[in-house]
Amino acid sequence: MLIDCDSCEMQNTSHCKDCVVTYMLEPKPDRGAVVIDADEERALRELADGGLVPRIRMRYRPRSA
């Protein structure tokens, strides 16, 4: 999974503030994308299911025509 905050439609919303990427990394514009492999994604999902971290809130913005 590639999480690029600049391409996420949740950026600068309340969902962004409650995303595990913001929670763990406090993304900054110059940092770029975060890459999470399948095992890491499963682990983050399990942590979120247990209430230990927020969920991944990444949602790709619709592409402009």
Span 4-62, pLDDT tens digits: 777 888 888 888 777 777 766 665 656 667 778 899 889 989 988 998 888 888 777 78
- d(CA 56, CA 59) in angstroms, rounded, equals 9
pLDDT at 49: 94
For 20, the domain range is 2-49
**What is the count of structural domains for the chain?**
1
Residue 60 lies in a domain: no
Q: Which residue has the higher pLDDT, 2 or 42?
A: 42
pTM: 0.54
pLDDT at 17: 76
